[in-house]
Structure 1
Amino acid sequence: MPSQLAWRRACLSLALAAAALQSYAAPSPLLDASHPVNWWFAFKFNAASFPGCGNSAQVNSCQFGGSPQSYASGKSFSQQYVYASSSQPSLSQGGGCVGDTPTDPVGATFSQIYNGALNYVVWNDQFYDDPAIPSCSGNACNAPWGHSKGVLAWDDQGNGVVMQVSTPSWPASGNAHYPRTSDGNTLGCVADNDVEVSQHFFSLKLSHADVLALLQGLANASAVTDPGNPQIVRNGGPSDIQAAVGQLGQQSASAMPQVSKLSSGVTLISKPSALQVPPWQLVSAELGGIPLRAATWWEASKSYAIPSTTQSGAPACWDSSLPAPGPVAIATSGSWAGQTFSLKGGLGKSFNHAKIGVSTGGGIPYAIFGDMNQEGALSGNCASAQNGRGGLFFALPNAALAQSIAKLIGGSTAASAR
C-alpha cells in the first residue's frame, strides 16, 4: 500500500538521520586519533634537561611538511614532554616526539585540522615571512602587535577546538592544500630551532559562543594573522563567526581587557597592547587578585625583567579601571622525575619559552596558560616590552592539574621587588 510504503520511507529517513548524527563528531582536543577529550596540556622540556625524544624515538616523519633539521641530529633539541588532560588531570610523561606523531596530543590534534576540512585561523607573531604579513615590517611582527601564537578550527555549526602554542614559526599553515613554501610545518622540521628550549601547548574544546569569544579576544589582542591568505585562514561556518574572522589581522585601539567565561568553565583573558600593565599582574587582577606563580621567558640580566612581587596592590604601571592584583612569583627552575631544569629565558639549550602559571591561594586552584612573558615594568617606562603588547590567557580551574603544574615549576624563585 502507498501509505505503508511512505511510512517505511519516513522511518528509513529518520534512521539515516539518526545514524548521521551519531557518526558526526565535533572537533575536539585529541590525545591520539581516537581519543577526544575536553582539554589537554603539554609541556615540552628543553634540550639540556631531556634531550631528544622519548623511548629513543627519532624525528624523521615530518608529518606536516619539512625535513629533519641539523639541530636534531646534533641533539640540541628536545621533544620529550609531559601532559595532562580532562580524562587524567595529573601530569605524566609521554612517549615519542611531541608534535611529530599521530599518537601524541599535539600531533593528533593538529592533524585533525591540517588534514581535515575544518575552517581555521592560524596566528603567530613570528611566521618569519612564510607566510609574509604585509602589515608587519621585517620577518616578525613586533609591538604593538600581539605576542600570541596558536590555531583555532571550527566546523560549519560553529563547534571548535583551539590549540595555544608558544612556538615561533609553528604552526604556519592550517591545511595540507596550502603548505608552507620555504619551510616545514612540523615541530623538529622547521628552520627555527624552537624545540631547543622548553615550550607549552594547550588545547580546549569550544562551543559556537566560545569560538566567537576567542575570535573577539584575538582581535582585542592584535593577534597576527591575515584573513585574505588561505595558508593561515579559511573562513566559513556561521555568519557571526565569519564576521568576527573578518576583523582579524588589524592592530586594535582597545585599552580594555576582554574577560570571558567559556562553556568549559575556563576564563579567557585578552590583554590589548594599549593596556600597558605587567601581563601576569593583569591575570591576577582579573581572577580576583589571587597570588600567582608563573614560568615564562624571563631574563634576569634584562632591564625589562619584572621581578617577583610579594605584596598585593597595584604597581605604578597600572590602569585605575582595573582591580588590584595579588603577588606574582617568578619561577626560575623546576623539576621532573628527579631532574632539575631551568625556567629562565635566554638563548641556548637550557632555557624556557613556555608561559604557564598556577594560583597559589585565593580558594580556586587555577592552571594558567598564556601568550605573554613577565617582561616589562612595574614602574617607569610602562610601555616597555610585553607591557606594550597584547596576548591571551586561559585560566582552567582544576585542583589536580594546578597541583601537578605547581610541582613541575616549584623550584627556585626570582628575587622580589616588594
Structure 2
Amino acid sequence: MPSQPTWRRACLSLALAAAALQSHAAPSPLLDASHPVDWWFAFKFNAYSFPGCGGAAPVNRCQFGGAPQGYTSAGSYSQQYIYASSSQPSLAQGNGCVGDTPADPVGATFGQIYNGALNYVVWNDQFYDDPAIASCSGNACLAPWGHSKGVLAWDAQGNGVVMQVSTPSWPASGSAQFPRTSDGNTLGCVADNDVEVSQHFFSLKLSRADVLALLQGLANASVVTDPGNPQIVRNGGPADIQNAVSQLGQQSASATPQVSKLSSGVTLISKPSALQVPPWQLVSAELGGIGLRAATWWESGKSTAIPSTAKPGKPACWDSRLPTPGPVAIATSGSWQGQAFSLKGGPGKNYNHAKIGVSTSGGASYAIFGDMNQEGALSGDCASSQNGRGGLFFALPNAALAQSIAKLIGGATAASAR
C-alpha cells in the first residue's frame, strides 16, 4: 500500500486530470450541473393550470440576474415543468422552478454558457430593447425578421450545444461578463411575464458540422441578433464558424428552405421569411408528406388562425417547388396527470406559447420543436402573420418521446378547413 504522501499525490493527480478533462469536455445539454445528455425537451405549464413551482421549490433566486417580479404572486406565473431526455425519453415531472436552478435542464444548460468561456450566439425577436437592435423599429422585431428564439454555444474545436426557447425577452445575454443593463436574464425575473403561459425548451448536442449547418439555418431564417454586440455574440473557434456567425443579423432574401440531417439523426428545417407558406405544412412536406399534430400560439376566432387540414394537399399559399404536405391537426387542449389545460393562444394565464408537434403517420415517429405558430393563411393573403416570417424546426425521431408528447397534446382539435 503506498505511503500517505504518495497516496495524496496520486489523488491530487487524479483530481487534476478529472478537472482537465471536464474543462475540455464538449458542451452538452445538461439535466443538472453534472448530468450531460445528447438532448432534452422541457415543457413549462401555464399559470392557470399549474401555478407556481413544482415540489419544495426555493424562493426564486434569479441566478442569471434580475429580481422576482410582481407577477410571481400565487397563480400569476408557472415554472412547473415536465421533461424528457436521451436517457429518459418519456415525459416526467420536474422539480423546482425551471430555469432558475443548476438542478433543472434549462438552468443547468444555460448556466454552462452564461458562467463559462464558450463562444455563443443569442437570438430573439423580442429582446425589448435590452439589447437594442438598430435595424428593428420598436422594441420587437417584426416581419420579415424571423420569429425565432434561442442560444447556441460552441468551444474552440467547434463542438456545440443549442437551446431553442419560445420565451420572449429570455435569454438576452450570453455571458455574466455582459449582463443586461435594464432587466434581468432569468426566467421569472424579467419584466415581461413569459412564465404566465406555457412555453417549451429543446436542447441538442452538436458536432462542428452541425454547428455550421445551424448557423446557416439561422441566417436563412433571418433571426434577430447582432454579431457586433458582445452581450449576445462572442465569436470564435474555427474560421468557417466565425465567418458564418459574421453573416447573422441580416434579413435573408432566400425563398428556399434549408433542410439538414444532423449527426444526431435530427432533421433541421429552416424556413425563410420570403417562402410565404403555412409553417407546419412546410414541416410536413419536408418530412415526406407525413401527418402532423401541432400545438402552438393559435388564437381561435382570429382571421390568421390556420384551421386543421384533414387531408393531404397543396394549399393555395404554396411554392410549386415544394413537395405535397400531409394533414396538419391543430391541438387546442391537452392534459397531464388528469389535469386539463388549454393549448390555444391569447391574452391571459390559460394559454400556450410553446410550438411543439408530433407525427401522426409515416414510417418514423417524430417529436418536433419549432419556432413558429400555425398562424397565417392557407389561401388569400399569403404573406400574413407567420407565413411571412422565418424560423427553425427540429424533428427528432424517437418513438417513446413522440408517444409521450402525443398524449400530452391529445385533447381537442381545431375544426378542419377541408
Q: Does TM-score exceed 0.5, indicating one fold?
A: yes
Q: How does 1:238-253 map to 2 (within 5 A)?
A: 238-253=238-253
Runs of 4+ residues over 2 Å off in structure 1: 16-24
In the TM superposition, residue 300 of structure 1 has moved relative to its aligned partner by: 1.0
User: In structure 2, what is the equivalent of residue 167 of structure 1?
Assistant: 167
Q: Is the 8 A contact 1:59 1:100 kept in 2?
A: no
In the TM superposition, residue 57 of structure 1 has moved relative to its aligned partner by: 1.5
Q: Measure the CA separation in 1 of the matches of 2:73 and 2:415.
A: 38
**Structure 1 SS opposite 2:191:** coil
Report the residue type matching 1:71 in the other structure: Y
Q: Measure the CA separation in 2 of the matches of 1:71 and 1:162.
A: 29
User: In structure 2, what is the equivalent of residue 101 of structure 1?
Assistant: 101
| 1:83 pairs with 2:83 | yes
**Structure 2 SS opposite 1:193:** coil
Q: Measure the CA separation in 1 of the matches of 2:258 and 2:279.
A: 13
| Normalised TM-score (structure 2) | 0.95
Q: Is the 8 A contact 1:59 1:188 kept in 2?
A: no
Q: Is the 8 A contact 2:48 2:75 kept in 1?
A: no
Q: Is the 8 A contact 1:37 1:86 kept in 2?
A: yes
Report the residue type matching 1:77 in the other structure: Y
Number of residue-to-residue matches in the alignment:
403
**Structure 2 SS opposite 1:122:** strand
Q: Measure the CA separation in 1 of the matches of 2:280 and 2:172.
A: 27
Q: Is the 8 A contact 1:30 1:108 kept in 2?
A: yes
User: In structure 1, what is the equivalent of residue 177 of structure 2?
Assistant: 177
Q: How does 1:19-418 map to 2 (within 5 A)?
A: 20=20, 24-418=24-418
Q: Measure the CA separation in 1 of the matches of 2:236 and 2:266.
A: 25
Report the residue type matching 2:311 in the other structure: Q
Report the residue type matching 2:83 in the other structure: Y
The RMSD of aligned alpha carbons is 1.2
Q: Is the 8 A contact 2:125 2:224 kept in 1?
A: yes
Q: Measure the CA separation in 1 of the matches of 2:406 and 2:67.
A: 36
Mark the CA change 1:256 to 1:59 in structure 2 (over 3 Å): closer, same or farther. farther
**Structure 1 SS opposite 2:111:** helix
In the TM superposition, residue 20 of structure 1 has moved relative to its aligned partner by: 4.8
Structure 2 residue runs without a partner (length 5+):
1-15
Q: How does 1:5-24 map to 2 (within 5 A)?
A: 20=20, 24=24
Mark the CA change 1:54 to 1:139 in structure 2 (over 3 Å): closer, same or farther. same
In the TM superposition, residue 75 of structure 1 has moved relative to its aligned partner by: 2.9
Report the residue type matching 1:228 in the other structure: G
Q: Is the 8 A contact 1:53 1:96 kept in 2?
A: yes
In the TM superposition, residue 60 of structure 1 has moved relative to its aligned partner by: 2.1
**In terms of mean alpha carbon deviation, does 74-83 or 29-38 score higher?**
74-83
Report the residue type matching 1:283 in the other structure: V
**Structure 1 SS opposite 2:48:** coil
Q: Measure the CA separation in 1 of the matches of 2:374 and 2:291.
A: 15
Q: Measure the CA separation in 2 of the matches of 1:109 and 1:366.
A: 23
**Structure 1 SS opposite 2:172:** coil
Q: Measure the CA separation in 2 of the matches of 1:20 and 1:99.
A: 28
**Structure 2 SS opposite 1:340:** strand
Q: Measure the CA separation in 2 of the matches of 1:18 and 1:223.
A: 38
In the TM superposition, residue 24 of structure 1 has moved relative to its aligned partner by: 2.5
Q: Measure the CA separation in 2 of the matches of 1:117 and 1:56.
A: 32
Task: Map Cα deviations across residues 370-399 of structure 1 (whole Å, 9 max, x no partner).
Answer: 000000000000000000000000000000
In the TM superposition, residue 19 of structure 1 has moved relative to its aligned partner by: 9.0
Report the residue type matching 1:281 in the other structure: Q
Report the residue type matching 1:144 in the other structure: P
In the TM superposition, residue 73 of structure 1 has moved relative to its aligned partner by: 2.1
Report the residue type matching 1:301 in the other structure: G
| Normalised TM-score (structure 1) | 0.95
Q: Measure the CA separation in 2 of the matches of 1:68 and 1:152.
A: 26
Q: Measure the CA separation in 1 of the matches of 2:57 and 2:119.
A: 33
In the TM superposition, residue 70 of structure 1 has moved relative to its aligned partner by: 0.5
